[in-house]
Structure 1
Amino acid sequence: MATNSLVVAPQWIGDAVMTEPLMRRLAARGERLTVGALPWVAPVYRAMPQVAEVIDFPFQHGGLQWAARRAMAAQLKGRFDAAYVLPNSLKSALLPFLARIPRRVGYLGESRIGLLNERLRNPPRDVRPPMVAFYSALSGESNVDVDVPHLAMNPQQVQEALAALHLQRGAYAVFAPGAEYGPAKRWPASHFAGLGLRLDVPVVLLGSGKEAALCEEIASAVNAQRPGWAQNLAGKTTLAQALSAISATKLVVSNDSGLMHVAAAFGVAQAAIFGSSSPLHTPPLNDRAAVVWLKQDPAYQPPLDCAPCFQRECPLGHTRCLVDVTPERVLAGLAA
């Protein structure tokens, strides 16, 4: 008889993608997986064939939301044999505890000792292991550092999304210029525009509603010189439509962001531009990915001793780790 397992998902798209190898390991040993995820992350898990069911959690950012968690726990009580709590927060571990799920697995953090009964120690604060291995270790299995995430969309769903967005498979490039964490991870808009003008296919800009103005700035700059060459879809698609568009694109250019990991998991050609963060910690796990990070370029002078700083904004005020990445450099990476 299969083990019924609940997976409490992380709240960021990139992290969700990097949990796919864990889903694959659990499903391979006979666990039936139900993922509980926030609505803006849930579509990622619907692109994982190993996941049998996805529940949209009715929670918001911040606060325990005690009443909502108790109500959801009451609905889930008696359904599951095990729970895997992927975020490190106290509130994420409350639901499996309140639902009285017998086996509750997760990392130590935020006073969760009483809520989890199988606990892994977090890495030291000065150590940043690859996130895929960090999540896969919750399986209790070894050799987790070899895992590579994969996503797969339903072909009919992709076809319907492309038709709705007026896109033709393989005949456009996707730019994802946002980065939720902060400006120290964002390649300048003028550089995105400069690259768009050099490509041999039109550009589609994807992102959240918060990134619509940024994407419009890029699209306007491109269209001023090549009318109709750039289309701003930021805030105009569902996440499922955005995933479909990425799965069918010719190439993706992005910062270190959630959509970078989505592109990698679909195996499409991509350029991933890093600034304040590190590709040693959150790389695009894709043989077709070109990683652009000036920190790794010995010819770049003066050396970027400040990188990676992992700050939201450049503490030195220049952000040259991104400003000095030219469109020509990114184009060369894509052509390699």
Structure 2
Amino acid sequence: MSAGDKVLVVGPSWVGDMVMAQSLYRSLAVRRPGVEIHVLAPTWSLPIVGRMPEVARAIELDVGHGELGLAKRRALGLRLRGGRYNQAIVLPRSLKAALVPFLARIPVRTGLRGEWRFVLINDTRELDPDRLDSTVLRYVALGSAETNRRPRVLPPKLATDPDNQRALADRLGIASERPVVALLPGAEYGPAKRWPIENYGELAERLARAGAAVWVIGSVREKPLGERVRELAPDPNVHDLCGASTLVDAIDLLAAAAVAVSNDSGLMHVAAAVGAHVVAIYGSTSPDFTPPLTDAKTICYENLACSPCFERHCPLEHLNCLRGITVDVVFEAAMNALAAGVGGERGSGQSRVAVDG
């Protein structure tokens, strides 16, 4: 590619999907040496993009989940007209996601066919669900001109900040010689992805008794989950960190964990991308479609006849897909991972990215 090779990627809305999108950025960097990658990202996922060394610039799209935000998209598209991009890659399949590259007059606008955007996307790719049977494969395929092969996936690898990690341990009072197991009981999508919080509480108590330091990590909205785990597991080695740190801090905290036990959530993908062994619990979703992108993983999935339904709430009102996964099974998986000392390759070094507000 020429020295002026410059790509704008319209990133996905969910944190986990944005982590998986790093596989596309890594692939572009390999396929097109010297490419300059800019990523258009919602406000809440900017900290994730800022830890991706392949991304030269993160551009904020200040619209909410599901919001059309036409005036904001138009203003941003006009602002980017002088960016001299030669291609845009639009990861979401919605019409609104394709508006900014069209308004920015980027000559090649690549995306999957979807939602009546024939004019907005002029390099339309057909979705082959057999060849591209997972989210990450669909992302990576959009960065390749080869439309008949199953693309190779380079797993996400977020950069971490050891100085921030040490500062967090001091500020939160969680420094310990014990191996760390992170519990990630939230899932923004809905309760059909959340293993019962009582199970997380019992698991936390058993892990602490077995010699682990247990960190419950989540957002401010997940603070009630962290508090409930602490109620059920009052051991001093169980720490409720929900709401006590930012998303970028969560990256560094998870990089210190040997094991992360998680629902299918954004933080699950973060944990995989910073080297923790992930014990992943699946309910309404599928480990085939959105797996943790690491070899260091243990999948807990019942594979019931009604699964995966991909619903936010269990349509049968029993949640058997989650309730059937016992604490014994998850505890054994976490202890086996600790005993084996397994984990992915740690991210290292800080990624310096220009972030536009």
RMSD: 2.0
Q: Secondary structure at the match of 2:142?
A: helix
Residue 230 of structure 1, CA deviation: 2.5
Q: Structure 2: give runs of 5+ residues left out of the alignment.
A: 337-357
Question: Map of 1:159-308 to 2, 5 A cutoff?
Answer: 159-168=166-175, 171-199=179-207, 200-223=211-234, 226=235, 228-295=236-303, 304-308=304-308
Q: Secondary structure at the match of 2:106?
A: coil
Question: Map of 1:17-96 to 2, 5 A cutoff?
Answer: 17-28=19-30, 29=32, 30-79=34-83, 80-96=85-101
- Cα distance change of structure 1 residues 76 and 333 upon mapping to structure 2, 3 Å threshold: same
Question: Map of 1:290-329 to 2, 5 A cutoff?
Answer: 290-295=298-303, 304-329=304-329
More displaced stretch, 82-91 vs 208-217: 208-217
Residue 166 of structure 1, CA deviation: 3.3
Q: Structure 1: give runs of 5+ residues left out of the alignment.
A: 296-303
Q: Which has the higher contact order (CA 8 A, sep 6+)?
A: 2
Q: Secondary structure at the match of 1:311?
A: coil
Q: Is the 8 A contact 1:7 1:86 kept in 2?
A: yes
- Cα distance change of structure 1 residues 105 and 161 upon mapping to structure 2, 3 Å threshold: farther
* Residue identity in the other structure for 1:89: S
Aligned counterparts of 2:95 and 2:168: Cα–Cα separation in 1: 37
Q: Is the 8 A contact 2:110 2:124 kept in 1?
A: yes
TM-score, reference length from structure 1: 0.90
Residue 260 of structure 1, CA deviation: 0.9
1:42-84 CA-to-partner distances (Å, cap 9, x unmatched) read 1111121111111222222233212211221222112122111
Alignment partner, residue 298 of structure 1: none
Q: Secondary structure at the match of 2:53?
A: coil
Alignment partner, residue 339 of structure 2: none
Q: Is the 8 A contact 1:132 1:148 kept in 2?
A: no
2:139 pairs with 1:107:
no
Residue 24 of structure 1, CA deviation: 0.8
1:245-292 CA-to-partner distances (Å, cap 9, x unmatched) read 111112111111111111111221221111221111111122221111
Residue 123 of structure 1, CA deviation: 4.3
Alignment partner, residue 127 of structure 2: 122
Aligned counterparts of 2:75 and 2:7: Cα–Cα separation in 1: 19
Count, aligned residues:
324
- Cα distance change of structure 1 residues 131 and 62 upon mapping to structure 2, 3 Å threshold: closer
More displaced stretch, 8-17 vs 233-242: 233-242
* Residue identity in the other structure for 1:81: N
Q: Is the 8 A contact 1:108 1:121 kept in 2?
A: yes
- Cα distance change of structure 1 residues 262 and 130 upon mapping to structure 2, 3 Å threshold: same
Alignment partner, residue 134 of structure 1: 138
Aligned counterparts of 1:287 and 1:108: Cα–Cα separation in 2: 31
Alignment partner, residue 150 of structure 1: 157
Aligned counterparts of 2:302 and 2:248: Cα–Cα separation in 1: 33
Alignment partner, residue 300 of structure 1: none
Aligned counterparts of 2:318 and 2:132: Cα–Cα separation in 1: 25
Aligned counterparts of 1:109 and 1:129: Cα–Cα separation in 2: 17
